């Protein structure tokens, strides 16, 4: 089978979406499929991931940042704010009468609101279907390069960003082949982002999503609840393929290296935190409740914004025990996970997060360190952690405090927390998940060849 993968993210871009898509491309090639990749060139993310497929099978294209104007306006706002405040970046001038400062503040706030409103409207009106819409013409041109002497049997588009769906639909129509939509996250139904959209944008994107997916041969997603949701929503064949882990990334000579600390119970979180939706406060509260033993615990956050963590740590009284460090390459993050005593998994404690299964869960299982999970307690990650005895999942600080007490005792007695048994990650490897995904794609191709109505779906204009 000849497969064209369309994804903005792809290795070496160090993004979790690039990890999944890159590993899938490698798996397909290993199974004997002929794979080509069409991807973007993100400039704001380090290129530190290992390459999974030969470079001559990948076409990376440029793009136009459609949000360039709002970003320029934001810089203009900061400069005007500094200018109107006396050129000091907004700091109060000691030699200025307070009444004068108040008179100046009115026009400054008014201008700031106008510029902010203009930027907000522009972003929602022009970022269509998302902030990567400016990739579309470059991606279509890149596909012409790929297909100059090669033609796909199937187009596989992975989002977000969902501009990839628009590109895939147009390419499927151009070549008369089926395409499949992979939802690594939800689109218009994603509560992390859609709640901030104006109603008119949400309606437009809802129509666009339905029209795009109506032309797809099938849908792929990353959890069983989401698979059931998308099947109800679109009435299409759907398969769930968990993110899983690649055993090659975790096969090291020393599976249990020196701990990050010999004296303190070290808890590690890797990745970004969505402010207001992934909240470590229950853990911070539990640590502070340890009393004198609180000093035997430390928490490290790797790769998130300090402003999303430190105010919460200060409020809980544990700022002296919390550290936030810059992002690291994927391989280094795995190495840090191995050296930690415990791993922190954060999810949104809200029904809207039901079905969300982060890739981080599978990494954590693969390194076999105990997990502290916070968030929705009837979601799949909580069930996996409990059923596999992989740690504790609770939002109750009292429960977490008792668990920390037990782990501190083990740390003091044995010098570190023992690894979990190997069975904890059984069946969670990526190849197991990708086997059923590859079979799903083959079924969609076979259906399109045997049913003229199905093969013509991609040719329908929206």
Statement: residue 461 has pLDDT above 70: no
Q: Which of 84, 109, 126 is the last residue of a domain?
A: 126
CA–CA separation, 322 vs 332, rounded Å?
Answer: 20
Terminus-to-terminus CA distance in the chain, angstroms? 27
Is the domain of 122 the same as that of 134? no
Sign of CA pseudo-dihedral 147, 149, 152, 153? positive
CA–CA separation, 253 vs 327, rounded Å?
Answer: 25
Is the domain of 160 the same as that of 26? yes
Q: Number of folded domains in the chain?
A: 3
Is the domain of 46 the same as that of 74? no
Q: What is the DSSP letter of 88?
A: S
Render 289-333 in DSSP notation, one character per residue. Answer: TTGGGGGGEEEEEESS-GGGTHHHHHHHT-GGGEEEE----HHHH
Is the domain of 161 the same as that of 226? yes
Statement: residue 73 has pLDDT above 80: no
Is the domain of 81 the same as that of 146? no
Q: Average pLDDT of 196-206?
A: 90
CA–CA separation, 173 vs 175, rounded Å?
Answer: 6
Statement: residue 197 has pLDDT above 50: yes
Count CB atoms within 10 A of the CB of residue 408.
19
> Do residues 133 and 141 touch, judged by C-beta distance below 8 A?
no
Q: 294 Cβ partners below 8 Å, 6+ apart?
A: 287, 288, 318, 321
Residue 105 belongs to domain spanning: 68-126
Is the domain of 323 the same as that of 259? yes
Q: Which segment of 170-184, 245-259, 400-414 scores lowest on mean pLDDT?
A: 245-259
Statement: residue 90 has pLDDT above 60: no
Is the domain of 218 the same as that of 75? no
SS3 at position 375:
coil
Here the tokens at position 442 are 């083959």
Q: Average pLDDT of 354-365?
A: 95
CA–CA separation, 56 vs 370, rounded Å?
Answer: 41
Average pLDDT of the chain, as a whole number:
89
Task: Give CA separation, 235 vs 143, 306, 354, 362, 456, in Å.
Answer: 29, 43, 20, 29, 17
CA–CA separation, 419 vs 417, rounded Å?
Answer: 7
**Helices of type H across 43-149:** 68-84, 98-126, 136-146
Sign of CA pseudo-dihedral 432, 435, 437, 440? negative
Q: What is the DSSP letter of 256?
A: S
Predicted confidence at residue 348, as pLDDT, reads 94
Is the domain of 357 the same as that of 447? no
Beta strand 322-325 pairing with 297-302: parallel
Instruction: Write phi, then psi, for 221 (nearest 5 degrees).
Output: -145, -175
Instruction: Write phi, then psi, for 262 (nearest 5 degrees).
Output: -85, -20
Q: Any idea what the CATH number is for the domain that residue 438 is in?
A: 3.40.50.2000
Is the domain of 343 the same as that of 404? yes
CA–CA separation, 93 vs 252, rounded Å?
Answer: 58
> Do residues 160 and 130 touch, judged by C-beta distance below 8 A?
yes
Is the domain of 236 the same as that of 251? no
Q: 380 Cβ partners below 8 Å, 6+ apart?
A: 223, 224, 225, 355, 357
Is the domain of 258 the same as that of 368? yes
Question: What's the whole-model pTM score?
Answer: 0.86
> HSE on the CB side for 170, CA within 13 Å?
14
SS3 at position 19:
helix
- Predicted confidence (pLDDT) per residue in 321-353, tens digit: 999 999 999 999 999 999 999 999 999 999 999
CA–CA separation, 371 vs 403, rounded Å?
Answer: 11
Is the domain of 104 the same as that of 60? no
Confidence of residue 458 (pLDDT cuts 50, 70, 90): low
SS3 at position 5:
strand
Q: Which of 76, 92, 126 is the last residue of a domain?
A: 126
């Amino acid at each position: 089978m000849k497969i064209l993968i369309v994804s903005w993210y792809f290795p070496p871009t160090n993004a979790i979406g690039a990890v999944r898509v890159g590993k899938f491309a490698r798996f397909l090639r290993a199974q004997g499929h002929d794979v080509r990749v069409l991807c973007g060139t993100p400039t704001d993310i380090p290129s530190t991931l290992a390459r999974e497929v030969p470079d001559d099978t990948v076409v990376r294209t440029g793009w136009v940042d459609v949000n360039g104007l709002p970003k320029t306006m934001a810089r203009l706002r900061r400069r005007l704010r500094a200018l109107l405040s006396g050129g000091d970046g907004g700091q109060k001038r000691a030699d200025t009468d307070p009444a004068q400062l108040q008179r100046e503040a009115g026009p400054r706030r008014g201008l700031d609101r106008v510029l902010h409103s203009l930027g907000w409207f522009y972003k929602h009106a022009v970022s269509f279907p998302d902030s990567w819409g400016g990739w579309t013409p470059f991606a279509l041109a890149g596909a012409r390069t790929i297909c100059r002497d090669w033609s796909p049997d199937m187009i596989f588009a992975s989002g977000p960003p969902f501009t990839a769906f628009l590109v895939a639909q147009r390419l499927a129509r151009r070549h008369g082949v089926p395409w499949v939509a992979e939802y690594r996250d939800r689109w218009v139904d994603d509560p992390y982002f859609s709640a901030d959209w104006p109603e008119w944008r949400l309606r437009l994107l809802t129509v666009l999503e339905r029209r795009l997916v109506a032309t797809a041969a099938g849908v792929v997603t990353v959890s069983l609840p989401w698979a059931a949701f998308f099947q109800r929503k679109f009435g299409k064949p759907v398969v769930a393929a968990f993110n899983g882990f690649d055993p090659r990334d975790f096969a090291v000579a020393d599976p249990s290296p020196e701990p990050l600390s010999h004296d303190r119970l070290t808890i590690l979180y890797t990745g970004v935190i969505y402010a207001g939706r992934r909240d470590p406060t229950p853990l911070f509260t539990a640590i502070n409740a340890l009393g004198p033993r609180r000093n035997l615990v430390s928490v490290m956050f790797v790769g998130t914004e300090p402003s999303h963590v430190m105010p919460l740590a200060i409020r809980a009284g544990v700022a002296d025990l919390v550290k936030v460090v810059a992002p690291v390459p994927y391989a280094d993050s795995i190495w840090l996970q191995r050296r930690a005593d415990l791993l922190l998994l954060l999810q949104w404690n809200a029904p809207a997060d039901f079905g969300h299964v982060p890739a981080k869960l599978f990494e954590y299982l693969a390194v076999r360190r105990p997990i502290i999970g916070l968030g929705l307690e009837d979601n799949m990650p909580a069930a996996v952690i409990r059923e596999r005895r992989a740690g504790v999942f609770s939002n109750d600080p009292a429960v977490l405090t008792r668990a920390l007490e037990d782990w501190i005792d083990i740390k003091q007695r044995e010098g570190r927390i023992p690894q979990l048994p190997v069975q904890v990650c059984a069946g969670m490897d990526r190849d197991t998940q990708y086997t059923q995904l590859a079979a799903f794609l083959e079924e969609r191709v076979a259906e399109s060849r045997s049913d003229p109505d199905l093969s013509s779906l991609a040719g329908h204009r929206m």
